[in-house]
A and B are shown apart, each in its own frame.
Chain A
């Protein structure tokens, strides 16, 4: 019942917002829906972590610890982005453009809805439909500003993601076929497939997983299938960039994780691990190449997402208890830090009207809060203590040193390059003399308050490594069979 209401709230909210005319009412509905979704999401996570596995709608919906982790990320960051959206949309689309603001709020909740379906369904076919749905829900959001560049970005995003996800369908169908011979009609359900994984045909499973990595890897932003990502993430409105980068990429990763758990049993864990180390390293390489002397700060954040998804894949590829633990920990940390920075990038855009790094001068003087938070967020993102990404990256590389010293060493070198490149770019934005005609003072300051939650969690996780959180990750590890 809780699972169904989790999905119904954003869906109903989207429908209601589409009908309402008054802006204030739209915003009220929007915030209420986001907070209600967060409340139900937290309740479900609490139930799952106390040992229950809620199911609903026959065997269609099922939430285990891995689903609960994703539901927490989606609803938590969804609520924060939702609150900021109200202020951001007021600044970008005044009442003359109310229709587009309404479209934003409708699609926002449809977007949340599709992501929640993807992570709470047990049926791998329905998961595929929902992930394709995330593309369809976001494509008009990428094009919301209706500029020529956003048109180009949205078209590229739509075509490339659709093709990528189509390949994932081949993987799903092959996996279904690999299971059909043994498990009958139910084999398209993940839990049934997982239970019979030992008897699947190995050669079919291997081929299926290659398609899965290419297909869902496109959604997760892994290089070389990442080419749509910097365009789409930089052209979308800031709160949507925050969710696409911080949350949607993880949904693609989640789909890969589900299949990896089956593949590990069917053909041994080395096959998937080698593949993931390969794409992980390549993603780091591409990210490093484009992060040195990047000229656009939103593209900088987008390429940094390619980097962090690469790090997560390295952790999964290094494998073992600590490799996977570090990867899951890093999923949470990257989501928190990246959505924070993308939201702040919205503030910078509203004030400076440009996404070019060289147009942004003297951010610390012109907008002290935005600038200081942006700097702190960057520190968190590039892995400086006391923030949590430092710990998760440390765990991943510690796990890699034992069996994959060369991959670990090259990843560390690339990480140092990225570290230098990003700090240099951010430095150029923070200091110097702001343009003379620039309005001084932070824009949208009250709307930044929710970001305190991101910082708090990043610090708490980084400094205290709290036991309930570790226990929750341990349960996810058990599901993945590590």
Chain B
């Protein structure tokens, strides 16, 4: 595989990953949102195996496998269990509707290109062109967390943000060392399990997973 072909494939896949993050804003049903996240993780698995193939890094192959198990299998299953357990939820309106939210996404992508292009152009790796796309995914994930009031969607926003960071590190350096990546996956998994517990507790205490109802702590 030539560097040019890799660069093109990486650009395409990173673009799909970003598109899936934006899809999270359009989707309103929780099951659909979980599926979007699982698909995005799968795209990242594919990407890391592709780069592993190109660079001949066995570590990266293992990282891809772990990514598949944790983010494409286990975490979506945990989230689906949570969605099933809390039952059908009255759809709470996001703070911003779909159309303005999409405009914000566009603006955030421009910001991402503005911030990250100097980094991307100074990077000799063939994957570097897509760095701004990865960072746009981080920013949009963050925006989803702020914009959506449902706790489960906030968790998904956080996971998309995490995926964006994974992609960023992958594109900029072919991934951080194996032991660090494993530790990060473990942290994310534990964080999601704890967040799941909190979703149940919030549901029990406030009879809703609308985090807008959390507002008793004031000055």
Residues of A within 8 A of B (CB): 123, 125-126, 128-129, 132-133, 135-136, 139-140, 143, 148-149, 151-156, 158-159, 162-163, 166, 169-170, 172-174, 176-177, 180-181, 185, 188, 201, 203-204, 207, 231, 235, 290, 294-295, 299
For residue B190, which residues in chain A have a CB less than 8 angstroms away from its CB? Answer: 136
Q: Mark B175-205, 1 if CB is under 8 A from A, else 0.
A: 0110110011011001100110010011001
- Which B residues, 147 to 197, have Cβ-Cβ distances below 8 Å to chain A? 151, 154, 158, 161-162, 165, 168-169, 172-173, 176-177, 179-180, 183-184, 186-187, 190-191, 194-195
- Top 3 A-B pairs ranked by shortest CB distance? A125-B180, A129-B183, A173-B169
Known contacts: A136-B194, A173-B172. The answer to whether A159 contacts B122 by CB under 8 A is: no
B138 interfacial contact with A, CB 8 Å: yes
Query: Is there contact, CB below 8 Å, between B180 and A126?
Result: yes
Contact check: which of B118, B176, B191, B201 meets A173 at CB < 8 Å?
B176
* A166/B198 contact (C-beta < 8 A), A125-B176, A174-B119 known: no
Name the residue in B135, B142, B219 with the highest tally of chain A Cβ atoms < 10 Å from its Cβ.
Answer: B219
Do A169 and B184 touch across chains, with their CB atoms under 8 A apart? Answer: yes
Contact of B216 with A by CB under 8 A: yes
Complex CA gap A173/B166 in Å reads 9
Contacts of B54 in A (CB 8 A): none
| A158 B122 Cβ-Cβ under 8 A | no
Using known A-B contacts A139-B194, A185-B177, determine if residue A166 contacts B165 with beta carbons closer than 8 Å: yes
Residue B107, interface by CB 8 Å = no
- Say how far B122's CB is from chain A's closest CB, in angstroms: 6
Q: Given A173-B172, A207-B119, list of 15 further CB < 8 A pairs?
A: A123-B180, A125-B180, A126-B179, A129-B187, A136-B187, A136-B191, A136-B194, A148-B205, A149-B216, A151-B214, A155-B214, A169-B169, A169-B184, A203-B118, A203-B119
> Whole-angstrom distance from the CB of A102 to the nearest CB of chain B?
17
**Most chain B CB inside 10 Å of its own CB: which residue of A126, A166, A295, A299:** A166
A331 to B142, CA, bound (A): 32
A164 smallest CB distance to B (angstroms): 11
- Using A139-B194, A177-B123 as known contacts, say yes or no to A163 and B158 having CB atoms under 8 A apart: yes
Interface size on B, residues (CB 8 A): 43
A290 to B165, Cβ gap below 8 A?
A: no
B161 contacts which of A166, A176, A231 (Cβ < 8 Å)? A166
Q: Is B217's CB under 8 angstroms from A173's CB?
A: no
Q: How far is the CA of A121 from the CA of B122 in the complex (A)?
A: 30
Q: Is the CB of B216 within 8 A of A169?
A: no
Q: Which residues of A contact B205 (CB under 8 A)?
A: 148, 151
| B122 and A155 form a contact (CB under 8 A) | no
A163 contacts B142, C-beta separation under 8 Å: yes
Contacts of B119 in A (CB 8 A): 174, 203-204, 207
Q: Which of B154, B172, B219 contacts A174 (CB 8 A)?
A: B172
Given A174-B119, A203-B118, residue A159 in contact with residue B145 (CB < 8 A): yes
- Taken together as a complex, chains A and B put the C-alpha atoms of A82 and B175 apart, in Å, by 40
CB-based nearest A residue for B151: A155
Bound together, the chains give a CA A155 to CA B205 distance in angstroms of 13
B168 near A170 with CB under 8 A, answer yes
In the complex, 6 of the A-B residue pairs with CB atoms within 8 angstroms, ordered by the A residue number, are: A125-B176, A132-B187, A166-B165, A170-B168, A173-B172, A174-B119
Interface: B96 (CB within 8 A): no
**Residue B211 interfacial (CB < 8 Å):** yes
Structural contact, A162 and B158, CB atoms closer than 8 A: yes
A253 to B186 CA separation, bound complex (whole angstroms): 24
- Per the bound structure, the CA–CA distance linking A162 and B179 in Å amounts to 20
Q: Tell me the smallest distance from the CB of B189 to a CB of chain A, in Å.
A: 10
Q: What is the CB-to-nearest-CB distance from B137 to chain A, in angstroms, rounded to a whole number?
A: 12
B140 to chain A, nearest CB (A): 13
B194 CB contacts on chain A under 8 angstroms: 136, 139-140, 158
Contact present for B206 and A148 (CB under 8 Å): yes
B91 → chain A, closest Cβ, in Å?
21
Residue B104 lies at the interface, judged by CB distance under 8 Å to chain A = no
Contact B122 A203 (CB under 8 A): yes
Contact assessment for B145 and A163 in the assembled complex, using a CB-CB cutoff below 8 Å: yes
Complex Cα distance, B135 from A158, in Å, reads 22
Q: Which residue of A lies closest to B192 (CB)?
A: A162
How far does the alpha carbon of A421 sit from the alpha carbon of B94 in the complex, in Å? 39
Partner of B191, one of A158, A203, A207: A158
Q: Are B168 and A158 in contact (CB under 8 A)?
A: no
Chain A residues whose CB sits within 8 angstroms of the CB of B177 once the complex forms: 125, 185, 188
Q: Compute how far the CA of A155 lies from the CA of B191 in the bound complex, rounded to whole angstroms.
A: 11
**Cβ–Cβ contact A155 & B198, under 8 A:** yes
A290 and B219 contacting across the interface, CB-CB below 8 Å: yes
CA A342 to CA B120, docked complex, whole Å: 47
Q: Which residues of A contact B26 (CB under 8 A)?
A: none
Task: Give the residue among A181, A231, A294 with the most B Cβ atoms within 10 A.
Answer: A181
- Cβ of A170: which chain B residues have Cβ within 8 Å of it? 135, 138, 165, 168-169
Q: Kindly list chain A residues whose C-beta atoms are within 8 Å of the C-beta of B165.
A: 166, 169-170, 173
Say yes or no for B86: interface residue by CB 8 A criterion: no
Chain A residues contacting B187 (CB-CB under 8 Å) are: 129, 132-133, 136
Residue of B nearest to A210 (CB): B115
Segment 15-39 of B: residues with Cβ below 8 Å from A = none
